[in-house]
Structure 1
């Protein structure tokens, strides 16, 4: 499987006109039903310009439908949306790069022509697209595949070609629907690097995923969606701060007066005491442990991760489904 390597042209930052609101995407109350079944129920989203934004949720949660409504591929039954400051998303389609969940290229086209063709669909002249495509492929160690037809490429290499087609016209907004699907860990990491580079070059990147780790590493803001509804929208930090840090403690002695200082939620699992960090902090507890002769052998304070926050916000069933989706 080929590597996603950073395109060298990214050093040239995009010269963008500022959207008055400072938001690349705004959506309020988006609602969509298919055949009487609700797919998206009142979604509100605000994506700042130049940010990396993740939409997290299990398969069937409404992620793809939400992205398609934001892009104008389908219209909401109710609600409002603005894309790059425009009420009609298709008016700015040429400034958007979109990688759909369902990958697809013309099998007889060469890699260069495929990239140029996707760029042409966004208004990039074919001659410019061909030159950029060849540069992208050669600069990323794929020069031998410039004239190879897609049918001769591996699945991963074809996905690389489609990704390059998504960014060849240097869009202001990049929308990726489950971009990590089908990639091994090494290439997932390289794709993460490419996303960071695009944001550093001035683009706004929004992607959907059912793998929480990608969003935790990449995103400044996230939306957690389950059952067609947004359960949380905000910064990753705010999501994690909904839960208090967890304390793990091992003592040499099992009993003593210091036990009275433990919070009411304390549990002992194997040889470790587990409890939430008290609002008063760790210092009063440490004093009680030391003065009472507990014999501290191990002590750690762990901040909850985005996965913990997801479970608390969306529920264990949604988290289990996310894990099952990621393992497929």
Structure 2
């Protein structure tokens, strides 16, 4: 039986781009399967935006090659792509419905059909009553939602979003996540960049972790988390006894509990020793490492700290 071949919406090999003698992107490889939600994760200055722009054909790489929806020249695929850049831009006096239809027209969608679809999309997003109101009357989150609707109104096969959650409150972030999931469920491929690990963990099937212009990891979220062993949290009534010899060498006390990596032999031999040694087990939890822990292990603590600072200072 032949193995099923995964079709790629985007493939890039050895992308390099320099500005002023500095390599912003240094040999990046990326493969985005069709129909996936794929995240490019990294701190500001890591090369995320430059990578997206090269993939889309907005700028050309100094080295390497890429294909976009099967096109070696990405701009040929532009009518089938929806792109939301990090720098937002809508005409403040334009009504929401017209703004969405106008963005669709830039991708070849007739204005009449764009207006019809805009009405439907605004209603589905809970913004139906704002269809005829100017962009300037919207909150930032609502305006960002309108711009996303304009990005998808022509029903693209590939949706590329650069830092789409920047500056949004929790309610609007949740709304945007819902829109992204709906597009993927409808068959579109979604590629987005972010410096917020939680969004990638909730949404993505596959990710690329970028730091210093290089891909440090590319693969599934599960594989990234799987690089670290599960953590065990153990609480006992007894503070000492022969059972202590069974604890792994990395076991340490924190907040009244023993913390250590799950041994390669599993938890059963340790449980046996704890019970036989009358440790008095009060708490025993095995926790899988999160994507944040994996990011630190892959990209380093300094990159993770920069990500957190980016999140705190963004408006």
- Per the alignment, residue 178 of structure 2 pairs with 193
Matched, 1:97 2:82: yes
Q: TM-score, normalised by structure 1?
A: 0.92
Q: Within 2, Cα distance between the matches of 1:138 and 1:268? A: 54
Listed as ranges, the matches of 1:186-225 within 5 Å are 186-225=171-210
- Per the alignment, residue 171 of structure 1 pairs with 156
SS in 2 for 1:128: helix
Q: Within 1, Cα distance between the matches of 2:124 and 2:255? A: 54
Q: Are residues 296 and 29 of structure 1, via their aligned partners in 2, closer, same or farther at CA, if it must alter by over 3 Å?
A: same
Q: Are residues 323 and 143 of structure 1, via their aligned partners in 2, closer, same or farther at CA, if it must alter by over 3 Å?
A: same
Q: Are residues 47 and 139 of structure 1, via their aligned partners in 2, closer, same or farther at CA, if it must alter by over 3 Å?
A: closer
SS in 2 for 1:86: coil
- Per the alignment, residue 44 of structure 2 pairs with 59
Matched, 1:319 2:304: yes
Whether the 8 Å CA contact 1:212–1:307 is kept in 2: the answer is yes
- Per the alignment, residue 253 of structure 1 pairs with 238
SS in 2 for 1:281: coil
1:141, CA displacement in angstroms?
Answer: 3.6
SS in 1 for 2:224: helix
1:136, CA displacement in angstroms?
Answer: 2.0
Q: Within 1, Cα distance between the matches of 2:308 and 2:244? A: 37
- Per the alignment, residue 147 of structure 1 pairs with 132
1:286, CA displacement in angstroms?
Answer: 0.6
Gaps of at least 5 residues in structure 1 are 1-19
Residue by residue over 1:194-222, the C-alpha shift from the partner in whole angstroms, topping out at 9 and shown as x without a partner, is 11110010000010111111111111100
Q: Within 2, Cα distance between the matches of 1:129 and 1:183? A: 26
Q: Are residues 139 and 315 of structure 1, via their aligned partners in 2, closer, same or farther at CA, if it must alter by over 3 Å?
A: closer
Q: Within 2, Cα distance between the matches of 1:191 and 1:141? A: 12
Listed as ranges, the matches of 1:104-183 within 5 Å are 104-183=89-168
- Per the alignment, residue 290 of structure 1 pairs with 275
The number of residue pairs the alignment matches comes to 309
- Per the alignment, residue 169 of structure 2 pairs with 184
Q: Within 2, Cα distance between the matches of 1:244 and 1:153? A: 47
SS in 1 for 2:121: helix
- Per the alignment, residue 240 of structure 1 pairs with 225
Whether the 8 Å CA contact 1:21–1:85 is kept in 2: the answer is no
Residue by residue over 1:77-101, the C-alpha shift from the partner in whole angstroms, topping out at 9 and shown as x without a partner, is 0011000011000001000000100
Matched, 1:22 2:22: no
Q: Are residues 141 and 295 of structure 1, via their aligned partners in 2, closer, same or farther at CA, if it must alter by over 3 Å?
A: closer
Q: Are residues 139 and 197 of structure 1, via their aligned partners in 2, closer, same or farther at CA, if it must alter by over 3 Å?
A: closer
Whether the 8 Å CA contact 1:222–1:233 is kept in 2: the answer is yes
Q: 1:85 aligns with which of 67, 70, 73?
A: 70
Q: Within 2, Cα distance between the matches of 1:272 and 1:81? A: 50
Q: Within 1, Cα distance between the matches of 2:79 and 2:6? A: 20
Gaps of at least 5 residues in structure 2 are none
Structure 1 residue ranges (4+ consecutive) displaced by more than 4 angstroms after TM superposition: none
Q: What is the root-mean-square deviation of aligned Cα atoms in Å?
A: 1.2
SS in 1 for 2:107: coil
